């Protein structure tokens, strides 16, 4: 019995050391990174990303956003794809085209990260979401921390949501 346990331990250790076991590698990553890997596998194989995976691509904080945006960096396997842009658009279109309520607040959260080279894209979709229902936008962002971030802050004030 001890020999079997020893042999299994050696096999597991060797797989970990060689990096042959993808599941072992995934266990070492946080939940956001795991979800991003799963989403990228669907994306790279031209399969539809399941709704729950797509929904969980929306970063909850700046650390997760850095990981998400990191897919555009030259050191990332997704660098030569449009993964970041395509999946961001899919998230926004769930609200605009599909009228999927589960994506409403997450899409606003995603828009709150608008900056730099992708600002225009995020800003465009945020304006489209606001056009659908200004009052809903105002009610949805009221009291949220991301109303302190542009462009959410700008549109919150521009649409007189505070009154």
Which of the residue ranges 7-11, 24-28, 46-50 has the most confident prediction, judged by mean pLDDT?
46-50
Are the C-beta atoms of 85 and 121 separated by less than 8 Å? yes
Q: What is the pLDDT of residues 91-112, one digit of tens each?
A: 999 999 999 999 999 999 999 9
**C-beta of residue 118 within 8 angstroms of C-beta of residue 84:** yes
CB 71 within 8 A of CB 59: no
Q: What is the mean pLDDT of the chain?
A: 86
Report whether pLDDT(6) > 60.
no
- How far apart CA 110 and CA 69 sit, in angstroms, is 11
Neighbours of 76 (CB within 10 A): 16
How would DSSP label each residue in 7-29? HHHHHHHHHHHHT--HHHHHHTS
Q: Report the chain's terminal Cα–Cα distance, integer Å.
A: 73
Whether the full predicted model's pTM is greater than 0.95, yes or no, is no
29-75, pLDDT tens digit by residue? Answer: 699 999 999 999 999 999 999 999 999 999 999 999 999 999 999 99
């Amino acid at each position: 019995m001890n020999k079997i346990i020893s042999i299994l331990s050696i096999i597991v250790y060797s797989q970990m050391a060689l990096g042959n076991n993808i599941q072992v590698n995934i266990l070492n990553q946080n939940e956001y990174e795991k979800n991003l890997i799963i989403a990228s596998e669907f994306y790279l194989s031209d399969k539809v990303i399941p709704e729950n995976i797509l929904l969980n691509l929306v970063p909850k904080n700046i650390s997760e956003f850095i990981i998400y945006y990191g897919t555009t960096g030259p050191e990332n396997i997704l660098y030569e794809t449009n993964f970041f842009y395509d999946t961001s658009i899919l998230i926004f279109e769930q609200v605009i085209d599909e009228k999927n309520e589960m994506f409403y607040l997450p899409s606003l959260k995603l828009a709150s990260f608008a900056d730099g080279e992708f600002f225009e894209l995020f800003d465009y979709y945020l304006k489209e979401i606001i056009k659908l229902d200004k009052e809903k936008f105002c009610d949805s962002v009221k009291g949220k921390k991301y109303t302190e971030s542009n462009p959410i802050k700008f549109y919150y004030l521009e649409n007189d949501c505070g009154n």
